[in-house]
Structure 1
Amino acid sequence: MMEKYKLNMSNRSNIRWKTLLLIFFVFLFAFRASARKQKVLVLHSYHQGLNWTDNVSAGIQSVLGHEDDVELMFEYMDTKRNSNPEYLKEFANLYGLKHLKNKFDAIIVSDNNALDFVRDYYTDFFKNTPIIFCSINQFSDQLVKGIEHISGVTEEIDSRKTIEVALRLHPKATKLVVINDNQTQSAILNRNNIKSFWPDLHTDVELVFLENLLIDELVDQVKHLDPNSIIYLLNFSRDKEGNFISYQENIEIIREATKLPIYSSWEFYFNEGIVGGMLTSGYKEGELAAKIALQVLQGKEINKIPIVQSGYNNFKFDFEQMKHFGILPKQLPKGSIISNQPPPIVPQYQTSLFVIIIFGLIIAIILRYSKLKREQNEKKLIQQNEELDRRVADRTKEVVFANEKLELQTEQIIKQNQELEDHRHNLLELVKVRTENLEEANLELKSSRDRLLRMLDANSDGVWEHNFANDQTYISKIIWDKLGYKSVTISNTKDLLCKIIHPEDLIIIKQKHRQNKLGYSALFIVEFRIFTTTKDWMWFKAKGQILDYDQNGKPLNIVGTLINITQRKEAEETIKSEERKLRVSEKRWRSLIEQASDGILIYNTDGNILDANSAACNWLGYSADEILTLNYSEIDSRHSSSELHSYWRKLNASYPSLSFESMQKRKDGSNFPVEIHLSLIELQDSKLILSLVNDISERQKTERKILNAVINTEESERKRFATDLHDSIGPLLSSINLYLSSINKFESEAEKKNIIKASVEAVNEALVSIKEISNNLSPHILNDFGLEKAIRSFTNKINLSQAISISFYAENMKERINHQVEVVIFRVVSELINNTIKHAKATNIEINLSREENLVSLIYIDDGIGFDAKEINAGTSTGMGLYNVFSRIKSLNGSHKIKSHPKRGGMMAVVEINL
């Protein structure tokens, strides 16, 4: 009873413990379920979709993406396409709006721009938050200065090992061409790194850099590289104008432009056309950074985690590229990773080969056993025959000596002969059995071969086999089904093929068959047409190889595959048809432009002339072949190459044409004025510019005559008006002044003085006004003393106001020049000074006037605010004052040039007139 009581108490105690344990686990599970997930922010420097950025994200997710209590968030700064300070400031504002209240347990920053952002805004957004960096170029302690809790993964590309292995794999190379955009600090540092270790390689290979180029310039230079060159693609994500190019685009452009081997140190170029190299993996860097973040989330102090500086570089090579350049796997460094390498044929067909080998061994064993048994039986038979002969001889002797025993001996001989016959019969039966076994083995081997053919048939469009011994051909049923033929047997295959194969193709097939049959070639590759039951021609490509030969080396059979290439042939025919239409269209277009009276030039965006009609050749004095060797900037004598490029860049889909005036230079050096109409021609892979040119020499002569007449009329009218003011109003006011000055009829001296004083002041003021009007309309100093004195007098008057300081310098201007030229230059100076005072907020003006032989030059400089001078130089400015000034210059066959910068300020005008 006591024991039963103790047992019950023990059971109750166990139940209580189990209940308490269950409650504990339920509480623990509820607490864990209610625990907050740990938040990790990944801040990328670049944009989503960039190969490098996506690889880093994949590496991070491979570690943290499987953690149930971790929530990953991603932010993309997009600085590869937007990196100006205004954008970064706006990004900081946006970040503050999105994440200022978010509490992150760790932040992973990818690439240098993201780390710079965290450092610049550390106190605003990131203080006391663990920071893990990765993909940081040229890492130094200065990059993380001021960040309290930080660790991470650096990024050191190994250009030296990549270049060393490239030089070793291509011993005949004479040049190593490094492609680098040279637009970022890291690109410059990587370039300098290559230059620093290059002398240590002790090689005769020439080091060449392709940098700071436009895309078209890069493609052109890559196309014309020495065939013994190697390309090392460092980086080319921006051209010299700052245009962004993705990694996939730049490797595709370079790969299409050249067949040379390309090496790199970046994994995002791998399997895109490079041979390989010591590649830096964004995926691996993201994985290493995520592992550090996981340690931080698990409670480890981040400052105690060492910075990772290795483990993300590996030798990797593309087997397809290796095969193209004849590189064997054994030539590669140990531990290299090879992609796209096909598996060895033995493992691939291991089962089939094993079955064939087993059957071959069995057949060989049977044949060997049969041969040995036959030799043993033959040897035994010979021995028996020899023994028989010996016995016959003995018996013969005995017959001579004992005739009575002859019958007994004869019976014994007959008996022995019967036994020998029986033995021979048994031996023949054994050979028959062995022969039947051998035939069964041959049938099994044939069955295995048929199964192999059916396997090939199932993995291709079709299989065919031809036996040279019986001249029979086998084609798999799938081909006959595609052609629509039924009940085709091996015996009638050859005759049917001769009927339905196109006669032209049948001749080629017979020639190939004869070469294979005579052993001249082991391969059979032919494209041919077969007539289907639906009355259509279907294209096939037959590929085959001789498998078996007899003991004399003659081929026994050939096996191959049939591939339907009808769609490919139809596509090729469509392309040919389109090309024929294009040639007809091109001929019609060529006829139209050759009949045009205006000059027509077609050139690319680099200015290289691609085509010109007869009118353009005649105007410029070049032959059709000579003009195609020129760049357009060589025949435009007014605009620089950069100005022409600015015109061409304006052309786009929304602004497809524009017009302007210029000067073109003939082959003999003479110039003539033209009006140019530009139109954009957009092709599938490039842009061209169509330039329609009109000779406006006669028009300008007419305009010049009209303008000169207007100027002469204006000046004559001004002179007449000045004379009227001076001769009529002047003497009158002077008489009034004298009259009033002599009035003495008033008795009150005070009244007299007031009248006299008021009259004198009014008259003097009128005289001053008249002189100012007279000088402004037609400065008498300009007419009487020339241009230099007129400008100096004009500037001295302005200097008296002390509102602005004008410095005037003249050289070789003592001799008077053409009056119209003097008037135009004086008006130019007046208008420029007027514009500076009204708009520039300048404090100093410098004017230089000089003459060298028949060339008069004016240089005008002020230190005021800047502006965009392109519209003024192009003649599209809306300011009437400057427009009239430059119209006057143009009327005298002169030129003008305005330079200014909107940010730096200042303005310089250069005017030149040929007397």
Structure 2
Amino acid sequence: MGNIHWKTLLLTFFIFLFGFQAAARKQKVLVLHSYHQGLNWTDNVSEGIQSVLGSEDNVELMFEYMDTKRNSNPEYLKEFANLYGLKHLKNKFDAIIVSDNNALDFVRNYYSEFFKGTPIVFCSIDQFTNKLIEGIDHVSGVTEEIDSRKTIEVALGLHPNAKKLVVINDNQTQSAILNRNNIKSFWPELKTDVELVFIENLLIDELVDQVKNLDPNSIIYLINFSRDKEGNFISYQENIEIIREATKLPIYSSWEFYFNEGIVGGMLTSGFKEGEFAAEITLQVLQGKEINKIPIIQSGYNSFKFDFEEMKRFGILPNQLPKGSFISHQPPPIVPQYRTSLFVLVLFGLIIAIILRYSKLKREQNEKKLLQENEELDRRVADRTKEVVFANEKLELQTEQIIKQNKELEDHRYNLLELVRVRTENLEEANLELKSSRDRLLRMLDANSDGVWEHNFATDQVYISKIIWDKVGYKSVTISNTKELLCKIIHPEDLIIIKQKHRQNKLGYSALFIVEFRLFTTNKDWMWFKAKGQILDYDINGKPLNIVGTLINITQRKEAEEKIKSEERKLRVSEKRWRSLIEQASDGILIYNTDGRILDANSAACNWLGYSTNEILNLNYSEIDSRHSNSELQTYWKKLNASYPSLSFESVQKRKDGTSFPVEIHLSLIELEDSKLILSLINDISVRQETERRILNAVINTEESERKRFATDLHDSIGPLLSSINLYLSSLDKFDSELERGDIIKASVDAVNEALVSIKEISNNLSPHILNDFGLEKAIRSFTNKINLSQAISIRFFAENMEARINHQVEVVIFRVVSELINNTIKHAQATNIEINLSREENVVSLIYIDDGIGFDAKEINAGTSTGMGLYNVFSRIKSLNGSHKITSHPKRGGMMAVVEVNL
């Protein structure tokens, strides 16, 4: 028994121990946000997630922010992936929540590397399709769709006098473009006269200017403006503040992060709600439910919300809002607000009721007393009745007299009716005459125009001459169907204007009607008419009864005007393109006539010469050319003709401040119908001339240096040997012994051999035979090995992909660069080590030269202003071979690195 009890306790201990460890492990959930912490939308999604998972004791939340609102280039995303791998490669997450499209794209692209097998819960995914989750095995989540239509419908209903709906959209993302196209697609279905305007793809200053200048009868619908047209990021808080400060107009939106920031409201998409839904799906996954069996949530995160303070600004009442709308900042109901006052009123009412009850009892006592008094009054009434009977008899006599007077009034009324009948007959005759005059007027108008028309405001019927219907090809048109047919065939844009004019005429604001409009003919084209009309009749209250007018066919005039406008637009576009090309040219451009008077100049010419545009247009070209006289210039200009339309020459031009500079001038002839102009293309060649002079000086100095070194080598090496040979040969006559002569001859031969060796060494220094015979790698290695023999400095040389020979000129230049760099290091750098790397990749040869000597300022060498002619000469040769060079060094830290690249 003792052993069994001991084993039971031990088993219970282990079960408790392992159970405690299993319970102690928390389930890890990573929340991967597309954007940065502090962005309203991102923080709202985080709060929604934490509202569900934050209260779970066995869940550990971790947050990562990709910050793609401000950084979205491929290099950054690649580095973010590397950073994610370093941080979380060993972390095992039970679920991952991804917020917004960029995070979902990141998970999909790196799924097999980082996320294989992990349940993925997405939220806030705009324009969701199944293609966005292809390749992800375990996935579900929450989409994101804003309801622009409901927001716009509510805004139009709350502002019935609005004339424009202004949509602000940055147009920088695919979602923004789809939102804009969505609004355009359903806009015709709203059947509203409000004009739809888009403000998008602007800089911040341009946005502010346009918002400030909006029509006062406008509504603003803010979708998003988080990036301007140059790609600069603007936070949601900043863009609503900018717009709110720029205008007093009502602002609506479909995003909850703008709520309580200055918008009236709308059907708002909630980031908090989307995060909450995603967290609830994640909680189901953590509790063991298969994620692929959880349906994707596509609704429930949009709701009507409105700001009471903004509603007060625009006179909007709560009962005007859609049913179930949430209103922020709304004052509390009257009962809780005035609880004490209502209690006092109720108490006061009770007191009044008690007083009334007491009054009722008092009244009943008084009524008993009144009954007694009434009995006494009845007796008095009886006596009074007798007096009334007598009075009635007297009244009947008076009634007979009134009947007689009424008969006399009836006879008078009959006479008045007869008078009215006679006057009515006269009025009808006048109306007939007026109708006849009106018909004559219509016939006169019809004869002096293409047709006449009439609109009766009382019957709302329209009449148009048959000649007009014949022109547009419609037959059997009656007065009853004229108005309906006109609404169908008048151009929609013109119909709006006609309705506005009609409303003004009908209300009596204007007596005239003048409109140009288009009719759609049966031939499937548009015909232009000009309608002129004037109100003809008014009722007794001064309200218009009808309007009559003429129609004139102006189709030919409109076609001619449109052709003129089209030609003008083409001319303006051509002129703008030409002006843009002229202004963007880096060379100076002047246009002048054959007398030399300057007619036009671009910015480059004005900047070079130091004149403003107005100043230079007051000059003659001969005033700025300091080399040629006016007659010499005329000679150049006269050479230009149709067979010889251009020529070039060099000259010197004078600036406004008196200084001058050399130029190369290209003249071209511009022949117009009535005149000839000269186009002068001016190129400043001062830098080119200076460069040519420096290269020439460098070449001369280098050649002189080489000649001096060659002379020194010949003098120091070959001179003594030749003198020795001369001395040996001159002494042959002084010796009689063949043995002594043999020694002299042997010494002479040795001196000649030594001279030949010296000549070969000098020749190798001028152009090493190893370079010619074996190539660049062998020549540099041989050169460095000789220097290493001195043990004064250590040179390490590495070559890669240099087995094949390259262009001989390139080999010579790179060999001279290496030898000149080594020479400079030995003479000036006080270095102990040199490393040289030579490589070839496809058609590019690269040289990297490094020493550990003292540092220097490399700016002058890179800029080409150094006085050291050796390096300047070799780097000039590199530039001539379409190559590049860069030297880096630090005066304090020391060391030098030169990088040379030559494109073969």
TM-score by length of 2: 0.43
